[in-house]
Amino acid sequence: MGIIVGTLALFVVLSVFSGLRDFSLSFSNTIDPDLKANPIQGKSFFISPAQEKQISAIEGIASYSKVVEERVLFFFDGKEQVTYLKGVDANYTKINDVSQNLYNGKWLRYNTAEVVVGYGITQKLSLGLFDFNNAFEVYVPRKGKALIESEAEAFNKAELIPIGIYAISEDLDSKYVFADLRLSQDLLEYKPNQVSAVEFKLKPNADEAKITEKLNAVFDNKIEIKNRAQLNATLYKMLNTENIAVYLIFTLVIIIALFNLIGALIMMILDKKSNLKTLYNLGSEVKDLKKIFLLQGSLLTIFGGIVGLILGIFVVIIQQQFRLIMITESLPYPVVFSIQNVLIVMGTIIALGFISSWIASSRVTKKLLD
């Protein structure tokens, strides 16, 4: 029973953390592409028509989008906010699902001054859609001005038209203002073929390593290619650390439960001492007598682990299908059934069970049988 309960607890907790991991990453995955090319030096790089043609010919790339990204100052009705202006082209909605996460309004039209703003930014600026009484302005510092005599010389300025509000997560909702690529390039004084990054969407089962290698060849290794895990290295590291910590804590629970197994096997060895002496006198070797209890302990562990896993899988599938435990009225507690978790739990149980049985069976010695 101790092994069954320990196995059940370990599997359910790992499944819950897998669900929480996927739930946490779903927010960043909405914004982040499969691959992103950033400049190794500086804030921008150039992409030529010939390079774009080469990119389109790479097998495994479903689509790509040129983007411009920079922290700038936004101003509305006496309030100001410094955040990222992200200029995107017409392919951007093919890269991610941000246009499907609009809280209000619609996605921007290209070659216009229309923008889509994060919900957090609208809250801070008290900004609404289609407010023609107050201008939503963006200020971008101009380059190469040693002596500034007026505001016009210090900043590139534009009036924007908010037509959509996106809502994903608290952090992301305060991060971006999406605008047309050409408008953003003009504000930042970029040339038409100058971008901050190129974002890629890959086809299913595409070879990420080969695509990365080919993209580096296209750009002569002057860019840095990052996947989603690398773009969110801190978040992935935190989630992996939490997962390992929980695994170790509940493995300790199983170890404590296996002390009962060790005790039970030792009690059985003492109870069957006379029988063991008989077998020993009949010619059985000590190592063969040890194998009896090693096998018995291993079978108990394996049987208990299988039963615990079956119960754990049942609990996880029930939660997935019927949403019995809710975080909010509309959000069920996330769980994920994973073969990887099944293998981790079964491997842990078998390994610890074998060690426990070996420790207990080692009490069968020649001295005990004399």
pLDDT tens-digit readout, 313-349? 999 999 999 999 998 888 899 999 999 999 999 999 9
Answer yes or no: do 13 and 43 share one domain. Answer: no
| Predicted model pTM | 0.82
Domain limits for position 262 = 2-25+235-369
Question: Does residue 181 surpass a pLDDT of 90?
Answer: yes
Answer yes or no: do 61 and 174 share one domain. Answer: yes
Mean pLDDT value across residues 75-86: 95
Count the domains in the chain.
2
Q: What is the pLDDT of residue 277?
A: 93
- For 140-285, where are the alpha helices, taking DSSP H only? 151-154, 181-187, 208-218, 228-231, 233-271, 273-281
Q: What is the pLDDT of residue 132?
A: 78
Answer yes or no: do 211 and 240 share one domain. Answer: no
Question: Does residue 207 surpass a pLDDT of 90?
Answer: yes
Question: Does residue 146 surpass a pLDDT of 60?
Answer: no
Point out the domain boundary residue: 231, 265, 300: 231
Buried b (16+ CB within 10 A) or exposed e, 17-40: bbbbbeebbebbbbbbbbbbbbbe
Q: What is the pLDDT of residue 342?
A: 96
Burial class (CB in 10 A: 0-12, 13-18, 19+), 43: middle
| Residue showing tokens 């006496």 | 78
pLDDT band for position 27 (cuts 50, 70, 90): confident
Question: Does residue 356 surpass a pLDDT of 70?
Answer: yes
Mean pLDDT value across residues 243-249: 93
| Residue showing tokens 């936004």 | 74
Point out the domain boundary residue: 231, 253, 282: 231
Burial class (CB in 10 A: 0-12, 13-18, 19+), 152: exposed
Answer yes or no: do 240 and 105 share one domain. Answer: no
Strands (E), 107-170: 114-118, 136-141, 155-166
d(CA 112, CA 117): 15
Q: What is the pLDDT of residue 24?
A: 87
- Angle, vertex CA 254, rays to CA 248 and CA 259, nearest 5: 125
Answer yes or no: do 161 and 246 share one domain. Answer: no
Answer yes or no: do 329 and 354 share one domain. Answer: yes
DSSP category for residue 146 = S
Answer yes or no: do 307 and 346 share one domain. Answer: yes
Residue 289's H or E segment, with its range, is helix 286-322
Mean pLDDT value across residues 237-261: 92
Question: Does residue 211 surpass a pLDDT of 90?
Answer: yes
Mean pLDDT value across residues 68-93: 95
pLDDT band for position 369 (cuts 50, 70, 90): confident
Q: What percent of the chain has pLDDT over 70?
A: 97
Q: What is the pLDDT of residue 316?
A: 96
Answer yes or no: do 12 and 101 share one domain. Answer: no
Answer yes or no: do 280 and 321 share one domain. Answer: yes
For residue 214, give the nearest of 60, 62, 40 by alpha carbon.
60
Mean pLDDT value across residues 178-199: 96
Mean pLDDT value across residues 296-317: 96
Answer yes or no: do 20 and 48 share one domain. Answer: no
Point out the domain boundary residue: 168, 200, 231: 231
Answer yes or no: do 11 and 128 share one domain. Answer: no
Buried b (16+ CB within 10 A) or exposed e, 318-353: ebbeeeeeeeeeeeeebbbbbeebbebbbebbeebb
Q: What is the pLDDT of residue 96?
A: 86
Answer yes or no: do 211 and 297 share one domain. Answer: no
**Helix or strand or coil: residue 53?**
helix
